[in-house]
Structure 1
Amino acid sequence: MTFSTAEHEAMRRALTLAATPAVPLGPNPRVGCVLLHDDGTTIAEGYHRGAGSPHAEVDALAAAGEWARGATAVVTLEPCNHTGRTGPCSQALIAAGVRRVVYAQADASPVARGGAEGLTRAGVDSEGGLCEQEARAINRAWTFAVDHRRPFVTWKFATTLDGRSAAADGTSRWVSGLAARRDTHRLRALCDVMLVGTNTIAVDDPLLTVRDDHDQPLPYQPMRVVMGERDLERARRVFGDAAETLHLRTRDPHAVLADLFVRGRQHVFLEGGPTLAGAFVQAGLVDEVVAYVAPMLLGSGRGAVGDLGITTIAEALRFTITDVALLGSGDSDPTVRLTMTPSKES
């Protein structure tokens, strides 16, 4: 693969555009596009602003107008070959007279892939793989969902030093400090599903929304999903109109993820109690763990996860720490956030 210096620089800019914070999460990936003259200068740029809006390539082409003819399109994802709410980007590039297309990540989606092949058949020079890992990182959950045909699962929990998520009398507010709770809302906003079990709704009655530092709801709210066979009172706060709510009457984690994948959901934030967490862990369906560890001891009380059937240390499930952060060091409730992924040998 041979890419020019201008194409490298344009791809870095396209990655920045793809990661624009204002873009809402949704079923589509984040994509950026930059159009270049033959001399390497930028003609126009664009990015995808969410489901139903023009894709990044079309956004850039609209800004370029006739200047797009003979240009090089540098895009973070292989142009799609799919007609949905919008037309195929590969055909839009061909119609605009683009001479060359450089993309980072191949599109593995069964409904959208094949754009590069279509470009080549039309005589457009097409080459992929430039900054591929960076592009995959921006669309981590989307890429995982496409590759594995299920949503990525992040399990979040708060615990004391001795592994308790609640005291013996059931009280759990607040195991973690204010900074940790704000950080949890930041992570919630990166997902499109918040998942709990029926017991959490019946006992804790959480609102399960994403809120800012002033406890105000954000414009975008992930879907609230409750799994379990138990009937729940409709007066529970999760059934209010603050966000969309779905009750899946099953205890099978595989069935839940399959249902959510069909609904176009890609990242599940698992916030249920120890029974639900244990079910997902035992099923091998936890892809990331975020643990908030508070510097306190309870001695007894509810554990963070239920029985996993492990009877000896040799059978322990092990995790690789990918990030450690101290939150709220200046207040009275500091918390350590550990981010982990399952170890391959587990």
Structure 2
Amino acid sequence: MAPPVVVAPPVFSDADRAHMAAALALAERGLGRVWPNPSVGCVLVKDGYVLSRGATGPGGRPHGEAEALRLAGAAARGATAYVSLEPCNHHGKTPPCSEALIAAGVARVVVACVDPDPRVSGGGIARLRSAGIQVDVGLLQAEAVALNEGFFRRIQESRPLVSLKLATSLDGRIATHTGQSRWITGDVARAWGHALRARHDAIMVGIGTALADDPDLTCRLPGLDGRSPVRVVVDSRLRLPLTSRLVRGATQTPTWIVTLEDGCEAVRARAFRDCGVQLLTVPADGVGQLPARAALASLAAQGITRVLAEGGARLAASLLQDDCVDRVEWFRAPLVIGGDGLGGVAAFGIDQLADARRFQRVEVRMAGVDVLERYRRSPVRGL
């Protein structure tokens, strides 16, 4: 019997790495704007010169490859395309990018990672290779997977990526015992929090926070006015007042309520819908509560890939209890409130340290007088 054929992994040059890093940077710009699609960057290079760059457009169209090919025109023939995610291979609202690359006559395609979507998942690569195009896969793969982690989780786990944002005192409090919370962190931290909103598809709060704060949940940074995400309230019994800012602004900024199927009284539900609010209903768990994982699944079914959970303590506890928190963005102010203050995370039944949710700290930065600590799930499983 003949020995198995061993295929050597591709060898990438420093130039390859630089061009793929540029493609990833282009893709990163689209986070929060391209759902339900992944955010993809593409750089076309020929004879050592960059011909064009493209990235996924708002709402997921045009695709990054299509935009780069459009800008390059006939010059794309014989070029190398650096793509941060495998080119699509199916007909949706746009033709397959694999077909476009073949038609353009590119000579080589460098792909950071394979697309987990079953409609693609290796098919785009196979199609390019069958057309005689050299395809090299795996350059900056870990970075590419991390960038589109929300899309990966929606496909593989039927839920979006969840970033939990906390703004607390040094002792982990989000308010005094009287409920006063404005403002624990300073101007820089709050501005960075708004920038986080712009990078997520949806921002989610619990009904307790919605009632206590009557928030707008919009992105209010200069130049990012149009980057406000979908606003989501987890409200099992439709307690949100019709006079709240969220409801009043629903015709300007998409506003959704995740509620229980048996808590959705018909007349009140109709009133919310008349105000422009979309209702997502989920079944209760065994004790009549709204499970976090079911709420996230309902968002994923709408195409949401990235969720920023901003409050409050009960929502944070519910997400952690269901093991759905992938990243933590923790702003800590240099003050101490004390044990009678409201904790950033409510109790969720951890008896043994072995059952605690664990994260890996990946970055620490000063945010004015405050500190931002960033954490990721440890490890990022299945991706």
TM-score (norm 1): 0.87
Alignment match, 1:341: 376
SS in 2 for 1:281: helix
Picking from 87, 90, 100, the partner of 2:108 is 100
- Name the CA shift for 1:56/1:23 in 2 (closer, same or farther; >3 Å): farther
Q: Which amino acid aligns with 1:254?
A: R
Which residues in structure 2 correspond to 1:21-170 (within 5 Å)?
Answer: 24-37=33-46, 39-51=47-59, 53-113=61-121, 114-170=123-179
Alignment check: 8 A CA contact 2:37 2:60 kept: no
Alignment match, 2:347: 307
State the number of aligned residues: 336
Alignment match, 1:325: 365
- Name the CA shift for 1:343/1:31 in 2 (closer, same or farther; >3 Å): closer
Q: Which amino acid aligns with 2:82?
A: V
Picking from 333, 343, 346, the partner of 1:294 is 333
Query: Cα deviation per residue 1:232-269 (whole Å; 9 max; x = unaligned)?
Result: 22111111134110011042111111111111111111
Counterpart check, 1:189 vs 2:198: yes
Counterpart check, 1:246 vs 2:256: yes
Alignment check: 8 A CA contact 1:36 1:71 kept: yes
User: How many angstroms does 1:289 deviate by?
Assistant: 1.6
Alignment check: 8 A CA contact 1:52 1:86 kept: no
- Name the CA shift for 1:8/1:323 in 2 (closer, same or farther; >3 Å): closer
- Name the CA shift for 1:338/1:6 in 2 (closer, same or farther; >3 Å): closer
User: How many angstroms does 1:49 deviate by?
Assistant: 2.3
User: How many angstroms does 1:145 deviate by?
Assistant: 3.3
Alignment check: 8 A CA contact 1:30 1:48 kept: yes
Alignment match, 1:226: 233
C-alpha separation in 1, matches of 2:124 and 2:62: 16
SS in 2 for 1:336: strand
**Higher mean C-alpha displacement, 160-169 vs 240-249:** 160-169
C-alpha separation in 1, matches of 2:61 and 2:352: 54
C-alpha separation in 2, matches of 1:204 and 1:101: 50
Alignment check: 8 A CA contact 2:198 2:224 kept: no
SS in 1 for 2:111: strand
Alignment check: 8 A CA contact 1:151 1:260 kept: yes
Query: Cα deviation per residue 1:65-119 (whole Å; 9 max; x = unaligned)?
Result: 3333333322222111022221101111222222322211211112333111111
Which residues in structure 2 correspond to 1:263-278 (within 5 Å)?
Answer: 263-278=302-317
Alignment match, 1:17: 26
Query: Cα deviation per residue 1:49-77 (whole Å; 9 max; x = unaligned)?
Result: 23353222222222333333333322222
Q: Which amino acid aligns with 1:152?
A: L
Alignment check: 8 A CA contact 1:209 1:217 kept: no
- Name the CA shift for 1:112/1:317 in 2 (closer, same or farther; >3 Å): closer
Alignment match, 2:266: none
SS in 2 for 1:322: strand
C-alpha separation in 1, matches of 2:303 and 2:31: 20
Percent pairwise identity: 42
C-alpha separation in 2, matches of 1:186 and 1:230: 31
**Higher mean C-alpha displacement, 148-157 vs 312-321:** 312-321
Alignment match, 1:177: 186
User: How many angstroms does 1:19 deviate by?
Assistant: 3.5
C-alpha separation in 2, matches of 1:147 and 1:123: 31
C-alpha separation in 2, matches of 1:29 and 1:227: 25
User: How many angstroms does 1:282 deviate by?
Assistant: 0.9
C-alpha separation in 2, matches of 1:255 and 1:32: 32
C-alpha separation in 1, matches of 2:377 and 2:29: 29
C-alpha separation in 2, matches of 1:262 and 1:201: 24
SS in 2 for 1:219: helix
| Structure 1 alignment gaps of length 5 or more | 329-333
**Higher mean C-alpha displacement, 187-196 vs 10-19:** 10-19
C-alpha separation in 2, matches of 1:217 and 1:131: 29
C-alpha separation in 1, matches of 2:30 and 2:304: 19
Q: Which amino acid aligns with 2:61?
A: S
- Name the CA shift for 1:316/1:137 in 2 (closer, same or farther; >3 Å): closer
User: How many angstroms does 1:270 deviate by?
Assistant: 0.8
Q: Which amino acid aligns with 1:13?
A: A
SS in 2 for 1:70: coil
User: How many angstroms does 1:2 deviate by?
Assistant: 3.1
**Higher mean C-alpha displacement, 259-268 vs 300-309:** 300-309
Alignment match, 1:331: none
Q: Which amino acid aligns with 1:98?
A: V
